[in-house]
Structure 1
Amino acid sequence: MLKFKDISKCYSLGVQQVTALQGVSGDIKQGEMVALCGPSGSGKSTLLNVLGLLDMDYQGEVRTASGENYPKDAYLAALWRRSRLGFVFQKFNLVPVMSAWENVAYPLMLNGYSRQDQKRLATEVLAKVGLEAFVDHRPDNLSGGQQQRVAIARALVHQPEMVIADEPTASLDSKTAELVIELMKTLGHEMGTTFIVATHDSRMAAHCDRVIELVDGQLAKDNTEVVKWAS
């Protein structure tokens, strides 16, 4: 589904150059739930941003299974994110003045769906995450776990190829985190959507299909992969 090869990234801090990633390569399959793990400063958030097309200033290549190169043009990257990717964040990032279904429907609105189709599809995916009784509730009337389920529904409503999740359980208690993890995995497998999750949470990693561990901007030795492009 996705191949990334020799990804390197440096940041400038004043006159100092900081290397965030050093020649990282990997291969992620369609429908797989993959955890990016490692200590703070290991490069997992940087790699997540590259794979989520939030950072295009890097060296190396990212390709889809069909051989498409990731765009490095800001406009094309925005179109790609809008139509082919979904995002789940640690702090939910819901619009407080919008109802649950309106939050979920936001990607559909950006992609030109009619208001009628927005509500129908948003309501359907809210039912999948167990929130059919809360479609008209605003975020401040929902618990943290419910807000994160709305965020997951929003990420999935336009049937993206891949969902990028940044510490999705960090703001949740243990019981709620377990429910959210299982929900993401179940829906990902059911819908054939790939989840790539950056996390410090060992519970999250334990539920994923595979763990990619980063140390000092490189893959841990037991994760090292040699990626070969299809000819």
Structure 2
Amino acid sequence: MIVFDHLQRHYQLGGQTVPALADVSGRIEAGEMVALCGPSGSGKSTLLNILGLLDMQYQGEVLLHGTPLPKHAKQSAQLRRSQLGFIFQRFNLVPVMNALENVAYPLLLNGMSKQQQRKQAQQMLEMVGLGDYIHHRPDNLSGGQQQRVAIARALVHKPSLVIADEPTASLDSNTANLVVDIMRQLGHELNTTFVVATHDARMASRCDRTIELLDGKLNPFDSQHEVISWAS
């Protein structure tokens, strides 16, 4: 589970201090898939970067399974490799690697043997429905297939948390729905938490819950300061 408590983040813009997050608190359960929504400038990317250990210049505290996230670069990098996965709008696959090699890459960084890398990567590709595409490079895959490879890569090392930034923005409706359903199903099966920043109503409606940000604050639609939208 993730708990973030009284998060504040300010940026210096010229001679002005601009608040990106203002006293934001919340809780996300293990295995839950949460959509993080809000207009541009609402603080979504800032919160995503903090949860993903990409921004450590904040006030407040973030707990992952009861342990505070580190604010030192070396410790943060180690925790990212072992406990976090990332999914991006533009897939960010390595073009000279095939699907299997792309998915195995996090395991290589974590020092796993080549035989075990291949075994786990192939199993994960089968879980996202791409067991017959392990030797295909990204330019021989459709957008939806590339995003499924990216999902497999994010999950292959069994992280506690996956950060996804607009993962369906470049996909058509049918492909987007398929990708979201795969993410949600695997998150529940593997007990991996997904936090997804999105402008896409299709994506948000298929998540377990929605948290909405507005002007750096949680939009106070209810007593929990969360906009609840349970998927069917």
Interval containing the TM-score (normalised by the shorter chain) = over 0.9
Deviation string for 1:166-223 (max 9, x for gaps)? 0000011111101001010011111111000000000111011111000000000125
Aligned to 1:211: 210
**Deviation string, structure 1 residues 3-30 (Cα, Å, up to 9, x no partner):** 0001011111222221110000000000
**1:152 paired residue number:** 151
Distance apart, 1:224 and its partner CA: 5.7
Residues 225 and 59 (structure 1), Cα distance of their counterparts in 2 relative to 1, 3 Å cut: farther
| Aligned match of 2:141 | 142
Distance 1:6 1:54 in 2: 18
Count of residue pairs brought into register by the alignment: 225
User: 8 Å contact 1:30–1:194 — kept in the other structure?
Assistant: yes
Aligned-partner Cα distance in 1 for 2:185–2:43: 27
For residue 5 of structure 1, what is the aligned residue in structure 2? 5
Report whether the alignment pairs 1:30 with 2:43: no
Q: Distance in 2 between matches of 1:148 and 1:140?
A: 12
Kept in 2, the 8 Å contact 1:101–1:136? The answer is yes
Counterpart residue number, 1:179: 178
Structure 1: stretches of 5+ with no match in the other structure: 227-231
> Residues of 1 paired with 2:224 and 2:71: CA distance?
24
Q: Is the 8 A contact 1:8 1:60 kept in 2?
A: yes
Instruction: Quote the residue 1:68 is aligned against.
Output: 67
8 Å contact from structure 1 (residues 101, 122) kept in 2: yes
- Hey, what does 1:222 align to over in structure 2? 221
CA distance in 2, matches of 1:21, 1:94: 31
Who is 2:113 aligned against?
114
Report the alpha carbon displacement of residue 163 of structure 1 after superposing the two structures with TM.
Answer: 0.4
Aligned equivalent of 2:83: 84
TM-score (norm 2): 0.95
Match of 1:98 in 2: 97
Tell me what 1:56 maps to: 56
Taking structure 1 as the reference length, what is the TM-score of the superposition? Answer: 0.95
Instruction: Indicate the RMSD between aligned Cα atoms, in angstroms.
Output: 1.0
CA positional deviation for 1:225 = 4.0
> Structure 1 223/143 Cα, relative in aligned 2: closer, same or farther at 3 Å?
farther
Q: Matched residues in 1 for 2:60 and 2:224: separation?
A: 15
SS at match of 2:70: coil
* Structure with more relative contact order (C-alpha pairs < 8 Å, separation 6 or more): 1
